[in-house]
């Protein structure tokens, strides 16, 4: 399971949905519906697990996407974690979907963009701190000059 948080994009979401539908031979409208057929529930559970583990979405965010209560999503995630540990076929499906997302070229583009954004933020913060430091130096210099004038009188 990935320890990294991917950016949740429409392209990645569509890719996950199509992959799950292909693997379970279902239409997406059936997966996001209210069916309790085992195959449909497995597909829905797998989708919840991917969103939670790869994108670090909250239970409420996943619930909003699937139009389900957050408690239902919590239960699905708990079941997902259990199924990944116990069922080899379920674990294989999950890992293959995870690897297709990680291998995708867009993964690296998103990561580079995120790193660049963080670097720009840090650079701006550094410039602000340098500016503050220089302001304080000026204040200290003025205070020293004021004290020297008082002492010399």
pLDDT reported for residue 16 = 93
pLDDT reported for residue 7 = 79
pLDDT reported for residue 1 = 46
pLDDT reported for residue 117 = 84
pLDDT reported for residue 99 = 85
> What are the average pLDDT values for consecutive 10-residue runs of the chain, which has 153 residues?
69 91 95 94 96 93 95 96 95 91 66 82 94 92 76 65
Scan for tokens 């410039």, then name that residue. 127
Q: Model-level pTM?
A: 0.68
> Side-chain half-sphere of 51: how many Cα atoms within 13 Å?
26
Q: Exposure of 20 by Cβ count < 10 A (0-12 exposed, 13-18 middle, 19+ buried)?
A: buried
pLDDT reported for residue 74 = 96
Scan for tokens 């209210």, then name that residue. 34
């Amino acid at each position: 399971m990935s320890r990294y948080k991917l950016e949740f994009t429409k392209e990645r979401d569509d890719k996950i949905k199509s992959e799950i539908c292909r693997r379970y031979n279902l239409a997406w409208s059936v997966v996001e519906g209210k069916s309790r057929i085992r195959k449909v529930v497995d597909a829905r559970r797998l989708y919840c697990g991917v969103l939670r583990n790869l994108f670090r979405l909250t239970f409420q965010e996943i619930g909003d996407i699937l139009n389900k209560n957050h408690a239902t999503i919590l239960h699905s995630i708990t079941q997902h974690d259990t199924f990944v540990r116990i069922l080899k076929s379920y674990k294989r499906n999950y890992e293959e979907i995870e690897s297709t997302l990680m291998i995708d070229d867009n993964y690296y583009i998103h990561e580079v963009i995120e790193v660049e954004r963080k670097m720009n933020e840090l650079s701006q913060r550094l410039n602000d701190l340098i500016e503050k430091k220089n302001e304080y130096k000026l204040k200290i210099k003025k205070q020293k000059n004021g004290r020297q004038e008082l002492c010399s009188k």
